[in-house]
Amino acid sequence: MDPGDNGADGEARRLLDLARADVPDCAAVAGFCHSHRQEIHRRIEELQAFDAALAALAADCEAGNPRCPMIDRIIRG
């Protein structure tokens, strides 16, 4: 795989290269799929944490606080 390849294009190119081989390397395809699934699960966990943080901030807003907790959190970092 070309070191400049990254993202979905690089992944698709890598999978196509594996598919075009004279003798398909099932172990390499399985490894590709395994690492891709790990990345998907990592992203899901990040999104779930982000969703939980947003839900907590929205709940503070809905509780009738006079100041906006979301804005306060953004300003404080």
| pLDDT tens-place string over residues 3-61 | 445 677 888 888 888 888 888 788 988 998 999 899 999 999 999 999 998 888 888 77
Helix (H, G, I), strand (E, B) or coil at 65: coil
Taking the C-alpha atoms of residue 32 and residue 23, their distance in angstroms, rounded to an integer, is 16
- DSSP designation for 64: T
- The pLDDT value given to residue 6: 65
43 vs 35: CA distance, rounded Å:
13
Question: What is the distance between the alpha carbons of residues 25 and 18, in angstroms, rounded to a whole number?
Answer: 7
* Amino acid present at 60: D
Domain spans of the chain? 7-76
Token pair in block for residue 30 = 């399985």
